Amino acid sequence: MTHQQILAKVANKYFARCIDDEIAYLTYQAMLGPQAKNKAPEEWLTEILPQLLARWNCLLEAPEVSESTVHSTWLAIAITLHKYGFQDKDLTQKAIDAIDYMNKHVLSSDDLFRKSEEIKTFLKSSPEPLKRKPAYQDSVTFFRAEDVISIQYNKHFYVAYVHEVNTGNERPVVEFYDGVFESIPTLDQVKNLKAKGRGIEKPVISKFGIYNRTHLPDFANQFVLLAIGVKEKPDNSMLEIPAGLYTMSSLYDIQLNIRQLFLLKG
């Protein structure tokens, strides 16, 4: 039995591909640099897991998401991490609980039901460590210029305006509105807000080119499209001119960018 065979039993191929792409990307990033080769998989996992969960908790902790979806997501994450040579005790237990839940509520296929114990044993087994950095999919974006998007981070919601998409259709270039929300806002709540600039005394215009934001709708529930064709950009006339056009970012780096831009702790 392979990881791919198990994933095919618990998640549709697009959902599974999304999780695989993201864990492959995070694993690749963790394995970069001269010091990385001296680290054990457990050390890489301490870098990967907090970033992964900060994003996927947008789905896992959402009150409107069904319990069955939560269980299947935990199972898919645990299987994929195992595929890339990682194992976490708590995640493995969540995956085992998910199998039991799916069987109890008749949500699993006959094949999954019959092979449940085999899959549990497989998940508990020590994964094979990677010998080289994994490949991951090229960056493609489905956002377009003049989109307005909500981005959830740490149970709060931030809104960004898409100024442009680069010629290769790899990344949207976004600028944040100066607002923080407790739930996904409407366009009316943000359209009159000014742009958020980086810095305190002399804040500067702050735009970000986000790589690896491919799937739309977002399976992790973190990015939500609020509106399309919005002509009026957030007003940044009060901000200083930056040294560059925008900051290179990614699906996961944007979490750090939000913390820095909005002066968040952690």
What kind and span of H or E run contains 33?
none
Please report the pLDDT score of residue 137 as a whole number.
83
Distance CA 195, CA 31 (A): 36
Please report the pLDDT score of residue 99 as a whole number.
93
Please report the pLDDT score of residue 250 as a whole number.
95
Please report the pLDDT score of residue 5 as a whole number.
86
Please report the pLDDT score of residue 37 as a whole number.
77
58 CB contacts (<8 Å, ≥6 apart)? 152, 220, 221, 222
On whether the CB atoms of residues 70 and 87 are closer than 8 A, the answer is no
Q: What is the pLDDT along the chain (266 residues), one digit of tens a residue?
A: 789 888 888 888 899 999 999 999 999 999 998 788 788 899 999 999 999 999 999 999 999 999 999 999 999 999 999 999 999 999 999 999 999 998 898 877 778 888 999 999 999 999 999 988 998 888 999 999 999 999 999 999 999 999 999 988 999 999 999 999 999 999 999 999 999 999 988 999 999 999 998 888 899 999 999 999 999 999 999 999 999 999 999 999 999 999 999 988 76
Distance CA 52, CA 260 (A): 19
What kind and span of H or E run contains 202?
none
Please report the pLDDT score of residue 149 as a whole number.
97
CA angle at residue 216 from 215 to 219, to 5 degrees? Answer: 70
Please report the pLDDT score of residue 266 as a whole number.
61
Domain regions of the chain by residue span: 3-124, 148-261
Please report the pLDDT score of residue 254 as a whole number.
96
